Amino acid sequence: MKGTVTVDDALCKGCALCIPVCPKGLLRVASERFNARGVHPAELDDPAELCTGCEMCAIACPEAAITVYRAVKA
């Protein structure tokens, strides 16, 4: 795994601006669940661990809801 992101459900408003900017198309709207605001939040859908932690989604996010992690050699 090179990187990963987490989306803070408490902050996400479901605007989906993070989805088109992901170069690998790894983000999606979680249409089967709601957050406390009553919207479908964005979430990472990355079973193949393709996320590189490039930060594009975090830069596009108006709510600063996305935290980006990158792998460093232990």
Partner 1 sequence: MTVLAAEPLLTPVYEYPKSLTHVPTHYCPGCTHGVAHRLIAEVIDEMGIRQDTIGVASVGCSVFSYRYFATDFAQAAHGRAPAMATGVKRANPDKIVFTYQGDGDLASIGAAEILHAAVRGENFTVFFLNNAIYGMTGGQMAPTTLAGQKTSSSPDGRDPATTGAPLRMSELLAQVDGAAYVVRRSLHDVVQIRRAKKAIRRALEVQRQGLGFSMVELLSSCPTNWGLEPTAALAFIRDEMVPVFPLGDFKLPAEPAAAAGAAAGTGARA
Among 11, 28, 29, 50, binds partner 1 (CB under 8 A): 11
Q: Is 73 in the site for partner 1 (CB under 8 A)?
A: yes
Among 7, 17, 27, 38, binds partner 1 (CB under 8 A): 17
Among 7, 13, 33, 43, binds partner 1 (CB under 8 A): 13
Q: Looking at residues 33 to 62 of the shown chain, list those that interact with partner 1 (rule: CB under 8 A).
A: 37, 39, 53, 55-56, 58-62
Classified as helix, coil or strand, 56 is helix
CB 5 within 8 A of CB 68: yes
CB 62 within 8 A of CB 15: yes
Whose CA is closest to 7, among 44, 36, 49?
44
